[in-house]
């Protein structure tokens, strides 16, 4: 769900995703490098949430941001489990986030959304199938949404707060 919301936010906020965003994200990520697992999980999770929130904020939609933020509790519980299952280190988390930071402002919207999806579903047994399924949903949403954030309904544009 979170990957879907973030990918949609990337497409909506594309005009506002730039190198300044990457710089801000890299500053946050630098803080993560100093932490250790498991003692610093709360700090690692806060940085992870802050990094991803910056992307969602670019969509300019308070409703989308609220929906995305409503999943913070679940993510806070899932990150330690995923790290434990994959035997990831802080360095692994930093590299994974750095790839996202490097890709998002420098790619086309669809590629940036794909990189964000890969960030969430990487490495699972069905990661490629899941990424493709989510991309199909994102593609449908993007086709229905004009660049201004207005929904396409037939030949009429209806504005809607996402």
In this predicted model, which residue has the larger pLDDT, 109 or 25? Answer: 25
Indicate which CATH number applies to the domain containing 74: 1.20.120
- Of the listed ranges 12-26, 71-85, 147-161, the one predicted with least confidence: 147-161
In this predicted model, which residue has the larger pLDDT, 78 or 140? Answer: 78
Encode burial over 62-76: b for 16+ CB neighbours within 10 A, e otherwise: eebbebbeeebeebe
Name the domain count of the chain: 1
In this predicted model, which residue has the larger pLDDT, 152 or 8? Answer: 8
Q: 58-117: per-residue pLDDT in tens?
A: 999 999 999 999 998 888 888 888 888 888 899 999 998 898 888 877 666 666 666 666
**Does the structure show a pLDDT above 90 at 139?**
no
Domain containing 142 equals 2-159
Looking at residue 115, its pLDDT comes to 66
- Of the listed ranges 49-58, 99-108, 114-123, the one predicted with least confidence: 114-123
Dist. CA 7–CA 121, nearest whole Å: 12
Looking at residue 136, its pLDDT comes to 63
């Amino acid at each position: 769900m979170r990957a879907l919301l973030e990918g949609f936010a990337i497409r909506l906020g594309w005009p506002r995703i730039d190198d300044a965003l990457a710089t801000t994200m890299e500053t946050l990520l630098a803080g993560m490098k100093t932490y250790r697992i498991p003692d610093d999980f709360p700090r690692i999770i806060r940085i992870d949430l802050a990094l991803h929130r910056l992307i969602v904020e670019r969509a300019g939609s308070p409703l989308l941001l609220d929906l995305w933020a409503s999943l913070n509790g679940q993510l806070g519980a899932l990150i330690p489990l995923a790290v434990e299952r994959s035997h990831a280190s802080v360095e692994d988390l930093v590299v994974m986030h750095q790839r996202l930071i490097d890709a998002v402002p420098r790619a086309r919207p669809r590629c940036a959304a794909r990189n964000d999806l890969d960030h969430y579903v990487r490495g699972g047994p069905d990661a490629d199938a899941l990424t493709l399924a989510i991309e199909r949903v994102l593609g449908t949403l993007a086709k229905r949404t004009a660049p201004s954030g207005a929904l396409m309904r037939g030949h009429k544009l209806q504005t809607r707060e996402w």
